[in-house]
Amino acid sequence: MTKAAMFTGRALFLVALASCAGTPTDSADASADVAPLPGFGEACPTGTCAAGLTCQDSEYAPFPWCTLPCTTVKTPCDKAQLGGRAGLCIQMPTGWRGPTEPFCAPTCGNSSQCTPLDTRWETCTNPGYKGKPFYGDVGKVCAAPSANGQIHVDPITCDWQNLVTDPKVQDLKGMCNEFCTFLTTCQLKASGQTKDCCTWQCFQHLAPGGVTDEARKAAIQCYISWYSKNTESTILCSGYVDQCGALCKDDVACNDFNACSTDVCRDWRCENTPIEGCK
């Protein structure tokens, strides 16, 4: 899929200042009709960013975006150089498609702080590559892990299944379809999320970096097995908790599987949305 196919338009709202007739302001400054250059963390499809920033085209994200080189990894970047936004200095591993020097990545508390910069940021997570964190808990950054050597999928349409051809992960397609059917039936799927986007996030969760995570696969299989055995049961949408653990329920932050804890209540308990009995 080309970068052009991945491009999601972002509306630019221009403010026109109307002047009173007969005043010296009749001739508006032409700059008022010029859209501002993209800032830190925003897409730069034309290759140009706000003053001081550089447009990075790499596999960190499925779109070129504005960032800034830095020198000391694992430390905050200078907000003044980033237009007032917060950033963390990170360095990607040898062999990745992108700059060899460290650069600033937008910091975040959850994925809802990333999507205003660009809807194609997929997650708010510890810095990493192909599912492997770099530094531990030094702060979370906006990221698009599906771009790390992987296929690029439009986050709006989530048309992904025909793009995954590796036979080692083919079985995960069916698992994710079944799992999302369970989530939809029991109204556990994030509000407004499509079935295709649910299954794509499930696949990303099960195969970080394109490699199946067997522990996560086993956890998902529990929910699928429960659903298949209890479709006519009155406890279909409640009894799974005792068997498999609790799940996030109807929260926008749960669109981001990586925002969920991996050591408390399985992989599905969102840190900022604890469920009763699972805090």
Q: At 268, is the secondary structure helix, strand, or coil?
A: coil
Among the ranges 12-21, 81-90, 128-137, which has the highest mean pLDDT value? 81-90
Mean pLDDT of 131-154: 80
Give me the percent of the chain exceeding a pLDDT of 90.
34
Q: In which region does residue 118 sit, left (phi positive, over 0), alpha (psi from -120 to 50) or beta (all else)? A: beta
User: What is the arithmetic mean of pLDDT over 18-25?
Assistant: 30
Q: For position 151, what pLDDT does the model report?
A: 62
Say what the pLDDT of residue 141 is: 95
pLDDT band at 36 (very low <50, low <70, confident <90, very high): confident
Kindly state the helix (H) or strand (E) to which residue 121 belongs, with its residue range. Answer: none
Express each pLDDT in 108-125 by its tens digit. 998 889 989 998 898 899
247/248: higher pLDDT: 247
**Could you give the angle at which helices 195-206 and 214-229 cross, rounded to 10 degrees?**
140
Max mean pLDDT among 13-22, 32-41, 124-133 falls in 124-133
Write a three-state SS string for 34-84: CCCCCCCCCECCCCCCCCCCEEECCCCCCCCEEECECCCCCCECCHHHHCC
Q: 77, 89 in Cβ contact below 8 A?
A: yes
Distance CA(253)–CA(270), nearest Å, equals 7
CA–CA distance from 44 to each of 20, 58, 106, 151 (Å)? 36, 12, 15, 21
Q: What is the mean pLDDT of residues 73-78?
A: 95
Q: Which of 51, 46, 53 has the alpha carbon at shortest distance from 67?
A: 53
Rounded to 5, what percent of the chain is helix, strand, coil?
30, 10, 60
221's enclosing H/E stretch is helix 214-229
Joined together, the tokens standing for residue 150 give: 């992987």
Polymer length of the chain: 279
Rounded to an integer, what distance in angstroms lies between the CA atom of residue 48 and that of residue 80?
A: 19
Q: How high is the pLDDT of residue 133? A: 86
Picking from 4-13, 54-63, 66-75, 91-100, which range would have the lowest pLDDT averaged per residue?
4-13
Q: Which pLDDT belongs to residue 271? A: 36
Contact 219, 267 (CB under 8 A): yes
Q: Does 39 have pLDDT greater than 90?
A: yes
Structural tokens at position 216: 């996560």
Give the Cα-Cα-Cα angle 114, 120, 124 (nearest 5 degrees).
35
What is the per-residue pLDDT for 267?
A: 36
